[in-house]
Amino acid sequence: VDFSGVTVRRATLNNYGDISRKRLTLGSTVFIRRSNDVIPEILGRVEDGIMGEAIEKPVNCPACGSLLEEIGAHLFCPNRLGCKPQVIARLTHFCSRDAMNIESLSEKTLEVLYDPLGVRAPQDLYRLTPMELIGLPGFGQKRAENIIDALAISRDCELDAFLLAIGIPNIGRATARDLAQAFHNLAALRAANMDQLLAVPAVGEVIATGILSFFEDTVNNQMVDALLALGVRPREVQNQAEGTAFAGKTFVLTGTLPTLTRQQAEDLITKNGGSVSSSVSRRTSYLLLGENPGSKAQKAASLGIPSMSEEELFQIINNP
């Protein structure tokens, strides 16, 4: 459907409890919205719509057959090292543009590496050799060399990209950036306690607990240690200079900007001392406003929060 200037083909349902609470069935006609002006979300069922087939709560993982575990509101497959879709998804995330940015390793390529070369974890990628790759279907010498070269380049990486890549629960690009700025290096973050984590503005108890649990896990620590031993070097973050253009300012983005992607705009703001939030509140300093804005623009206006165009953003950066 066309909705708020975009074509929506899929919408979010968070978990089985969400499905039950909203009384959804297969074939239901539903109400949708764009949560935070971005993510399509199903709000509920149209009451006079057709009642379809009930959605059964899954018991086994559809990929590997393992008995699912229910933790809180979510169902998890516990076979994290042997469930192929899980492994491929983690590797794809690790190689993605916002993470380690290994362009030559797409999801399809990683699937090819899974069985014949036994690639199961990020550290396995850095042990690959050109000769191993050349023997695979569709791999010639040039393609193999491109992959090895891309892996070599990725060893020198930003700390926030590395934190995003390794898959700490509930850590997105913005939170990874905040953690990198707060702790400066990987060793300090790995040694952090709850109080130190909660001192980071973007980190609440759920995120802090997830970080602590991640670095207490033996498999995760083995992965991180192996990556470091194989030459992956997350760069230490230097203290930002005071008095930058957006020091102490919090931005929220909405709409489509003329020339910058959302990620480019966020990077530009943070490099100039500002921070980026996903939702408008009284603590928001500016709304960076693009074309086809959503409800964030209305909320910002109701709170008296000033808006800024991309052009004005550049003007302030160039003339602080």
**H or E element at residue 275:** strand 275-277
Task: Give the SS3 label for residue 287.
Answer: strand
Q: List Cβ neighbours of 7 (8 Å cut-off, separation of 6 or more).
A: 1
For 250-318, which CATH class?
Answer: alpha beta
What is the CA 104 to chain-centroid distance, rounded? 20
Q: Where are the domains of the chain?
A: 2-45, 84-154, 166-235, 250-318
CATH of 84-154, one of 3.40.50.720, 3.30.2000.10, 3.50.50.60, 1.10.150.20: 1.10.150.20
**Residue 277, pLDDT score:** 84
pTM of the model: 0.75
pLDDT tens digits, the chain, 320 residues: what are they?
787 777 888 887 878 888 888 888 888 888 888 776 677 888 888 877 667 788 889 999 999 999 999 988 889 999 998 999 999 999 999 999 999 999 899 999 999 999 999 999 999 999 999 999 998 988 999 999 999 999 999 999 999 999 999 999 999 988 898 899 889 999 999 999 999 999 987 799 999 999 999 999 999 999 999 999 999 999 998 765 545 788 888 999 999 999 998 888 988 898 888 888 878 888 899 999 999 888 899 999 999 999 999 999 999 988 86
CATH 1.10.150.20 assigned to 166-235: yes
**Residue 242, pLDDT score:** 46
Domains 84-154 and 166-235 share a fold: yes
For 2-45, which CATH class?
Answer: mainly beta
**Residue 239, pLDDT score:** 65
Q: What is the DSSP string of 170-228?
A: T--HHHHHHHHHHH-SHHHHHT--HHHHHTSTT--HHHHHHHHHHHH-HHHHHHHHHHH
**Residue 279, pLDDT score:** 82
**Residue 36, pLDDT score:** 67
CB 135, CB 146: distance < 8 Å: no
Q: List Cβ neighbours of 287 (8 Å cut-off, separation of 6 or more).
A: 251, 252, 253, 254, 280, 296, 297, 300, 305, 306, 307, 308
